[in-house]
Amino acid sequence: MFEKILAVNVIGPFQLAKLALAHLRRDGGGSVVNVSSVAGVRPTGSSIPYAASKAALNHLTRLLANVAGPEIRVNAVAPGLVRTPWTGDWGPLHDAMTTLAPLARSGEPEEIALVIVDVSQATYLTGQVVVVDGGVSLR
């Protein structure tokens, strides 16, 4: 299972970025935005293989940003708890967000999508992992 998780969360984004960089360079530049997780930023709240793979993705993001510039920006967005079909039955965790997060709720997929779009358009941002967790990481 660990190898499958690494394949999806690290090797896949690396291969995709490698292919995309050639096209983005040819077209004059652009942006790569990886989707990470707060599990890759903080050593709590997830399985070890998943968290380790997201931490590796964060480091990969920084490494790619270092070699892709100045034409191409590479960043990651690291969501916290988001209401999705996968987390739909995690009621107690979603309920706990009312006291854990300054924004007092879980995120919605549309909110994460907006941040991804914003990061992709931020022309002076590269090599960053943007945490989007309703403020949980502040506490």
CA gap 137, 139 in Å, rounded: 5
> How would you write 108-137 as a 3-class SS string?
CHHHHHHHHHHHHHCCCCCCCEEEECCCHH
| Catalytic residue IDs | 50
Bridge partners (DSSP) listed for residue 75: 33
Our CA dihedral for 43, 134, 104, 38, rounded to 10 degrees, sits at -20
